[in-house]
Amino acid sequence: DSGVTQTPKHLITATGQRVTLRCSPRSGDLSVYWYQQSLDQGLQFLIQYYNGEERAKGNILERFSAQQFPDLHSELNLSSLELGDSALYFCASSVGRRGDWNTQYFGPGTRLTVL
């Protein structure tokens, strides 16, 4: 158990809908990262937050957005969903001192299925 929690574990929805994925980092970690992993594909970095502020951005679609709240939990919002958005979404956290990129600890993931 990494100490990172993600909810829900599974999500089934329809095209065009909007969903929110939630992540709680390990106690004491200030950075949260979001990744997408499609079937048989590698981990695609989406976005990183550090202590409430956006820190780094990857190949995140405009239909996707994220935020980190004062209690450090994070939410990833996916809207206007398409079939191709079906994937495992992972959250990771790290101590993440500013300017550093520490070891990331991954949550169990949310499996999103878009029908």
Partner 1 sequence: EDQVTQSPEALRLQEGESSSLNCSYTVSGLRGLFWYRQDPGKGPEFLFTLYSAGEEKEKERLKATLTKKESFLHITAPKPEDSATYLCDTNAGKSTFGDGTTLTVKP
Which residues lie near partner 1 (CB under 8 A)? 2, 4, 33, 35, 41-45, 48, 56-58, 88, 90, 92, 100-101, 103-109, 111
DSSP β-bridge partners for residue 106: 92
Q: Nearest distance from residue 90's CB to partner 1, in Å? A: 5
| 78 CB-side CA count, 13 A | 29
Q: Which is nearer to partner 1, 31 or 72 (CB)?
A: 31
The answer to whether the CB of 81 falls within 8 A of the CB of 19 is: yes
Q: Nearest distance from residue 80's CB to partner 1, in Å? A: 25
Rounded to 5 degrees, φ, ψ at 25 are -75, 170
Q: Nearest distance from residue 10's CB to partner 1, in Å? A: 11
